[in-house]
Amino acid sequence: MDYFTMLNFKREPFSNSPEPDLFYQSPQHMECLQKLELSVRLRRGLNTVIGDVGAGKTTICRQIIRRFAGDKNVETFLMLDPGFDSPMEFLRAVVETLGIREDAADRAEWRLKEKIKNHLFDRGVGEGKTLVLIIDEGQKIADFSLEILREFLNYETNDHKLLQIIIFAQKEFAPILEAHPGFADRINFSYDLPPMTFSDVRAMVRFRLDASRGETAGRKVRFTLPALWAVYRATGGYPRKIVGLCHRVILALIIRERLKAGYALVRSCARGGEPPRRAWRMALAGILGGIAITLIGPDFGEHLFVARAPEEPAVVVAPQPVAEVSIPLRVPPQRLSAAEAAPSESEQCPASLGWLVVRKGETICKVIRGVYGIDCIDSRVALIRRANPHVRDPDRIEPGAMLKLPAVPADGTPAAEGGCWVALNRSDNLEDAYGLYRGYREQGLSAQVCSHWNGRDGLRFELILKGRFAGEGAARRAIGALPPSVSPGARVITEWARDTVFFSAIPADSET
């Protein structure tokens, strides 16, 4: 038997599930939603919503996801619990949440960070998508996770951040932000979600009752104004408490076969259904409350019982119909056993070397010479242009533009040629490697990037002197001739692993 039909309800009016059709659009909730949406669409980066337990943070979280559900250019990802014990666990959770394929060999922090970075550039620049990572229960975020999120906010173009982050957290998150000013300074929009006023509580309860009511005429559940005031006083204006208390009131009405909830019934339900004590005092309070409402108006609570500055009249926004949307939730990965975590040599060869930011005066041809170590041939230019449809003129790239470089195996391999090489430095990502390359070229060194990969070490970038040396002695003499700022970190490479795949060509003869 559906007990709620006894009170002429077609649905449960005070369900504790986030039913979109029962979302009451209070002024503070709508202000928060609108500003969050604007910040995300402008791709400003980091946003936080802080409020007490039951203030409506989860409701706003689900509503912001629904707002973007019909926009094919915006992708939202929800992390329900950010409490992790190590940076690796948090990074793996982000990888899983964003839907990035994780290989068995990805057991180093830099690998996972590089995968996330490349994914953000691929989706945000290559495909023009806006990626939104929404984190609930933000007060559980560990210090190392905040530092990782801060690093993610460094991934940006000239115009916008590549990852939009929204953190919903309880009040305990405020001192955490104070302890991490480097992270807090990056917040674009922060909203302190307050509890509802009496006007909003009254409007919310009546809205839910009206939205849930059936078609039978004459049977209408209602809360008297003193009852609504009792709801406000007992819950403090927090939506979750309001829903819970009103649900108990509805159950009491069903048991008593009544349609009207009064002050005494609400007070009884607020105490867990115990019989009212000092009934005459409560009845007198209800009568006086009713007189006050009649004489002063329905907002008498703000005037008589709460010491606060005068407020502007509350605005009740009519609910807007929203299509039903199924919200997929990605569950963070489980911890792996030692056997599962063992590195695998079956990792697939990467399809991309990564992204780099183009500086003033740089062209695709200059990048090809520096990264691939070959002349600027038409086929390679065409390949890079296909990977970067946003670049219209390869000879005039706007400074700050992002360039994605495909991983194209070189024709030859130095591993089979013998000799020695001088390595000046090493990097795990393309952008840092190319930055080092620029610095060496400015010092007059004939250097180049040598990108290579194998299933054990992953993708690496060596900064080497161009060419091959006949023996280790010649290589060490070349190191001795380097500038003092470079020579201490230089080393001799006498051989490469036979299974190494090279994406850069290395000239056979040394130019130094």
What are the pLDDT digits (tens) for 302-320? 443 333 333 333 333 344 4
Same domain (yes/no): 209, 189: no
What is the rounded average pLDDT for all residues in the chain? 81
The mean pLDDT of 358-371, rounded to a whole number, is 86
Same domain (yes/no): 183, 36: yes
The predicted structure's pLDDT at residue 456: 79
For residue 241, is pLDDT > 70?
yes
Q: Which helix (H) or strand (E) holds 452?
A: strand 447-454
CATH value at residue 91: 3.40.50.300
Over residues 390-410, the pLDDT tens digits come to 777 877 777 777 888 899 888
Spatial contact of 146 and 179, defined as CB atoms under 8 Å apart: no
The predicted structure's pLDDT at residue 347: 56
- pLDDT band per the 50, 70, 90 thresholds, residue 1: very low
Domain count, the chain: 3
The predicted structure's pLDDT at residue 104: 62
CA distances from 274 to 32, 270, 284 (A): 38, 9, 19
Over residues 247-277, the pLDDT tens digits come to 999 999 888 888 899 999 999 999 875 444 4
pTM here is: 0.67
Same domain (yes/no): 433, 493: yes
Say how far apart CA 241 and CA 263 lie, in whole Å.
17
Determine the structural domain holding residue 288 and report its residue range.
3-8+197-304
- pLDDT band per the 50, 70, 90 thresholds, residue 15: confident
Domain boundary at 167, 193, 219, which?
A: 193
Whether 22 is in a domain gets the answer no
The mean pLDDT of 218-246, rounded to a whole number, is 91
Q: Which helix (H) or strand (E) holds 48?
A: strand 46-51
Same domain (yes/no): 227, 87: no
Burial class (CB in 10 A: 0-12, 13-18, 19+), 478: buried
Residues in the chain: 512
The mean pLDDT of 416-421, rounded to a whole number, is 73
